[in-house]
Each structure stands twice: as C-alpha cells, then as structure tokens.
Amino acid sequence: MSWVNRNAVMETPPPLLFESSGTRWRCFGFDNVDEFAARSGSFADLLIRARLARENAYAPYSKFRVGAALLMDGELFSGTNVENASYGGTLCAERTAIATAVATGRRKLEVIAVSTDAAAGSAMDMRTPCGLCRQVMSEFATPDLIVLLDGGNDEDGSLLGEVIRFEALLPWRFRL
Ligand code: THU
C-alpha cells in the first residue's frame, strides 16, 4: 500500500458565512465567525480600494487587470499588476503593493485585499494570489494575516468576498 495518494485533493471545509455592511463574506480557515467579525470593520473598504487600484493596472498583454490594497503597520497602500513586453518582467498587484509599503518603512502585513477582472461569482482559483505572491506575503505576514478576495457584486448589489486566513492559503510555507 502506497503512503502517498497522488490523487489526493486537499479538502477545504465549507466556508463560514458572514454578512456585514452590505457585504457577504465566505470565510475560510476560521473556527468561528467571531474571530474575523472582530476585525471585519475595514474589510469592505479595502475590497473597494483594491477595485479602484485595478483601474490603474498596466496589463496590455494579458488584459487581466489586478488591484491590491493592504494594511501594513495600520497604513493603507495599493498596487496593480505591471506587465512587461518580456512577459517575465511582469509584476503582480500584490507584490507592487507590498513593495510600495516596505519602501516606506512598513513591515507588518495585517490584511491584503485582491480584486481581479475575473467575472463575478467565478471560481475562487481565478482570484487567489499566485504562489510567488503568497511567498512574498509570507515574508511580512503577521501571525493572523487575512487575505480578502473580490467576488464581484450579487444581484441585489451586495459586495461578495472571501476572507481567508493566510495559513490556510499557504500551509507549510518556506521560512529561514
Ligand atoms: N497577476 C497578479 O497581479 N496577481 C496574481 O496573484 C496573479 C496574476 C497578474 C499577472 C499578470 O499581469 C496577469 O495577472 C495575468 O497573469
């Protein structure tokens, strides 16, 4: 009997649902709603700021615009993807936002929101940060870093979003 199941798919427990100030959140990696409810005050605002940042994306090659907005040491910063004709020189939105904050002396990443051009209600894996960005987040992550994803708007106009505990997004991360 093999001890590795190559076909194993990591099981994601069903999300907890949480509603606040016109936003419906699906929450992953939390034991109970209270854990994130206590911090949810600025979450909708960050999501909107990530959407606004997306408007400035430079994405002439992929046409896939991404915006990020984050809180580092309590200060707000934003970023967009910045593509390059070489393709390999492309920077993701999350990393431009983090680099901007770090360049002004900030070090503690508390929450980061990401908004992409993926259609409203699209699969989460079209909207989650890439592996490279997750590793860069890890460098500055506070122990309870939260990642917010923009899920578009519901038919009734409500904002849709995901709240993900960073540990759930990048388990077994590399550290020195
Ligand atoms: N992109 C991001 O900005 N963040 C991610 O986490 C994933 C991908 C950008 C890079 C590229 O400009 C475009 O999305 C398509 O991959």
pLDDT the model gives residue 136: 98
24-36 pLDDT tens trace: 999 999 999 888 8
The predicted model gives 115-119 an average pLDDT of 96
Pairs from 96-103 (Cβ < 8 Å, separation ≥ 24): 96/68, 97/53, 97/68, 97/69, 97/70, 98/70, 98/72, 98/136, 98/137, 98/140, 101/70, 101/72, 101/73, 101/75, 101/77, 102/72, 102/140
Is pLDDT at 10 greater than 70 in this prediction?
no
Determine whether domain 22-169 maps to CATH 3.40.140.10: yes
Enzyme catalytic residues = 94
**Alpha-carbon span 148 to 32, nearest angstrom:** 17
Ligand 1 centroid vs 69 CA: distance in angstroms? 14
Please, what is the average pLDDT of the chain?
Answer: 93
Q: What is the dihedral of CA 24, 73, 108, 170, to 10 degrees?
A: 10
Is pLDDT at 7 greater than 80 in this prediction?
no
Ligand 1 centroid vs 61 CA: distance in angstroms? 11
Q: Which of 6-10, 38-42, 49-53, 132-136 has the weakest average pLDDT?
A: 6-10
145-167 pLDDT tens trace: 999 999 999 999 999 999 999 99
The predicted model gives 122-145 an average pLDDT of 96
pLDDT the model gives residue 150: 97
The predicted model gives 36-52 an average pLDDT of 92
> Is the CB–ligand 1 distance for residue 126 below 6 Å?
no
> Is the CB–ligand 1 distance for residue 84 below 6 Å?
no
Domain-by-domain residue ranges, the chain? 22-169
**Alpha-carbon span 60 to 55, nearest angstrom:** 13
Is pLDDT at 3 greater than 90 in this prediction?
no
Atom 3, ligand 1: which residue's CA is nearest? 92
pLDDT the model gives residue 79: 98
Structure tokens at 84: 């390059």
Contact 69, 97 (CB under 8 A): yes
> Is the CB–ligand 1 distance for residue 90 below 6 Å?
yes
Nearest to 115 by CA among 158, 64, 154: 64
Ligand 1 centroid vs 112 CA: distance in angstroms? 15
pLDDT the model gives residue 39: 85
Counting ligand 1 atoms within 8 A of each CB, the residue from 92, 138, 148, 166 with the most, and so the one to mutate, is 92
Ligand 1 centroid vs 93 CA: distance in angstroms? 7
**Alpha-carbon span 169 to 164, nearest angstrom:** 7
